[in-house]
A and B are shown apart, each in its own frame.
Chain A
Amino acid sequence: MGPRSGLEERSFRLWLRIRRNWQLYVLLFLPVLWLIVFRYAPMYGAQIAFRDYLPAFGIEGSPWVGLANFERFFNSYYFKPVIVNTLIISFYSLLAGFPIPIILALSVNQVKMRLFRNSVQMITYAPHFISTVVIVGMLFQFLHPRVGFTASLANLLGMTPPNSMGDPAAFAHIFVWSGVWQEMGFGAIIYLAVLSTIDPALHEAAVVDGASRLQRIRYIDIPGLMPTAMVLLVLSTGRVLEVAFEKVYLMQSPLNLGVAEVINTYVYRVGLLSPILDFSYSTAIGLLKGIVGLLLLIAVNYWARRLTNNGLW
């Protein structure tokens, strides 16, 4: 046999390496099969956004309608409020939910007393483990105009109990601050982990130079947290269109739907709840949300990279 050409040689080697690890591919088989069926098949199915899906004809058999479903959404009465609500709730959540765990972590990190530190952590993590249904149930009870805590307090002070859950103006505040209440402790974990990796020599040197605690936070801790904070910020900005379905949906009532309907709940309502199920229309809205979200993530990541040198990739 003559000498193999370079290309042949390389592909032969590649084949050898693949064959050498064939058992690893066997391990991967089920996970990849699952990935294709439950994650990529739906992406293929999302093409019904461009069709008029009729169950009798199936996905491929239904007629193409181009961008008609998207146009319908743009021209719909719900388009503006749904987008506006989603953005308001998202950016409000981000504004409150992003800095607070960082502040909490910086603060906890200063505590030297082990018992106090551990108790604070234990207590602030706890609400994360309460389910969304129970959290919203707690909100309803806590803010109940007759039997709630705010009602009891108002009774005690001789005031008229407020009906916060029925007040559309209070919706975003309740949604966001109950979220902060539930997640600030858990959100701080990642920052505390990063703070514990900061080189102690930096702090020692700063102490020798007479830096106060506040100065050390400002010039050592916060810069140390920046890369992680940037990555998390990029991730959450990429998800601004994804207002947590489970919670919003539970908090919705006929009274507040005008400010509480977001893209995700609207998709569910037109897709699976309405008397005339409109799979194509619902899918089109969901797809639009997904594509805009992805583009947003790429854009934000690009800017984060340019401005701070940190990003997702």
Chain B
Amino acid sequence: MASMTSYESNINKVNESAVDRVFMLGNTAFLLVITLIILLPLVFIVAASFSSAEAVIAGKVTLWPVDFSLLGYETIFEHKKVWNGFANSIFYTFFGTIFNVTMTIIAAYPLSRQDLIGRRVITFAFIFTMLFSGGLIPTYMVVRDLGLLNTRWAMILPTGIGPFNLLIAITFFRTTIPPELNEAARIDGASDFRIFLSIILPLARPIIAVLALFYAVNTHWNTYFQALIYLKDQNLFPLQIVLREILIQNSIDASMLIDIEDLVAREGLRELLKYSLIVVASVPVMILYPFVQRHFVKGMTLGSVK
């Protein structure tokens, strides 16, 4: 990083040519356009979620709330299914991530040790699952035969170890823990368990953070596929499945809309509710994300070191 700034300042000393100035202007404009394109849909959704049902159904909302109202949010807060989904998602994400991270770390450390016989074969066996899998039905059959169908276990156990995450963990251990450390500890009479628990784990904190984020967001919080194929019981549904019912399949518990006689108003609330729901469902990760962004970047960067 230090070298980077020194070269930037060197370049600044040289006067920028006219060509470069025009280029930089165009470049800035390009990035501004991209940023606006990213922001536009998000701003629209938020604006609509704070509008009145009438404004929404009349198609009047563009980028600012029309007839400011919190009705959409109030309706969501009374929707028990949504809260149940939130609770289930938190459960799956919390325990699932603990399971994933533990499994990944206890696999990655041994596989990062150059002196481990068979490490190439076992690493390849993990990586190979990134390139080829038994497929949907055979995996389903295994989960079924283990009696996990329609249980909370089905949301946790099959996720296990992501090969990409395993790779970045192995890379982390290989690049940050010198082999001499291990030899020195050995000479002092420490066993591998001891080394792992009292030296490796404390050093592994950064990679544990990265893995926890990757698993929590990518494997658990934001996915619905596992739930779609393994769960039947409504009470076990994670948030994403509930969202799918409301946002995509347009099925909203009619009791929520019962006290509204007018059909148009009812239709309006139905749509308004979706906007509010999109906001409510995205807020937890969106609030968290600026704080954890650098961990994600770190993880992606580790992944690019092969």
Query: Taking beta carbons and an 8 Å cutoff, which residues of A are in contact with B?
Result: 14, 17-18, 21, 23-28, 30-32, 34-35, 37-46, 48, 59, 104, 107-108, 110-112, 116, 119-120, 122-127, 129-134, 136-138, 140-142, 144, 146-149, 151-153, 155-156, 161, 181, 184-186, 189-190, 193-194, 196, 200-201, 203-204, 207, 212-214, 228, 231, 238, 245-246, 250, 264, 267-268, 271-272, 279, 282-283, 286-287, 289-291, 293-294, 297
Contact status B35-A124, CB under 8 Å: yes
Proximity bits, B48-76, A CB within 8 Å = 1, else 0: 10000000110111100000000000000
Q: Nearest chain-B residue to A217 (Cβ)?
A: B23
Q: Given A138-B41, A200-B3, A200-B7, A42–B304 Cβ distance below 8 Å? A: no
CA distance A92 to B306 in the complex (A): 28
CA distance A120 to B27 in the complex (A): 12
Please report the number of residue pairs spanning A and B whose Cβ atoms sit closer than 8 angstroms: 299
Contact status B136-A126, CB under 8 Å: no
Q: Given A34-B160, A39-B129, A246–B223 Cβ distance below 8 Å? A: yes
Query: Taking beta carbons and an 8 Å cutoff, which residues of B are in contact with A?
Result: 1, 3-4, 6-8, 10-12, 14, 17, 19-20, 23-24, 27-28, 30-31, 34-35, 37-42, 44-45, 48, 56-57, 59-62, 103-104, 106-107, 109-111, 113, 115-117, 122, 125-126, 129, 131-142, 146, 157-158, 160-161, 191-193, 196, 217, 221-225, 229, 240, 243-244, 247-248, 268, 271, 274-275, 277-278, 281-282, 285-286, 289-290, 293, 296-297, 300-301, 303-304, 306
Contact status A107-B27, CB under 8 Å: yes
Contact status B293-A122, CB under 8 Å: yes
B194 → A minimal CB distance (Å): 9
Q: Given A35-B129, A126-B286, A111–B248 Cβ distance below 8 Å? A: no
CA distance A190 to B113 in the complex (A): 26
Q: Given A129-B286, A133-B240, A282-B137, A111–B56 Cβ distance below 8 Å? A: no
**9 shortest A-B CB distances, which residue pairs?**
A42-B134, A137-B247, A286-B135, A200-B7, A31-B107, A45-B138, A23-B192, A131-B222, A42-B138
A286 → B minimal CB distance (Å): 3
B255 → A minimal CB distance (Å): 22
The listed residue (A48, A120, A204) touching B7 by CB distance below 8 A is A204
Taking CB atoms, residues of chain B closer than 8 Å to A31 are: 103-104, 106-107, 160-161
Contact status B278-A137, CB under 8 Å: yes
Q: Given A17-B115, A155-B59, A190–B303 Cβ distance below 8 Å? A: yes
Q: Is the interface of B mostly helix, strand, loop or mixed?
A: helix
The listed residue (A26, A189, A268) touching B300 by CB distance below 8 A is A189
Q: Given A142-B44, A152-B61, A207-B14, A14–B117 Cβ distance below 8 Å? A: yes
Contact status B23-A39, CB under 8 Å: no
Q: Nearest chain-A residue to B113 (Cβ)?
A: A24
A190 → B minimal CB distance (Å): 5
Contact status A137-B243, CB under 8 Å: yes
B152 → A minimal CB distance (Å): 16
CA distance A119 to B240 in the complex (A): 29
Contact status B142-A42, CB under 8 Å: yes
Contact status A272-B103, CB under 8 Å: no
A-B contact pairs, 25 of them (CB 8 A): A17-B115, A21-B113, A21-B116, A23-B191, A24-B116, A31-B104, A34-B103, A34-B157, A110-B27, A126-B286, A129-B285, A132-B240, A134-B243, A141-B48, A142-B44, A147-B268, A149-B41, A149-B61, A184-B34, A200-B4, A213-B24, A246-B223, A271-B137, A286-B137, A297-B131
The listed residue (B48, B104, B146, B301) touching A193 by CB distance below 8 A is B301
Q: Nearest chain-B residue to A136 (Cβ)?
A: B248
B121 → A minimal CB distance (Å): 11
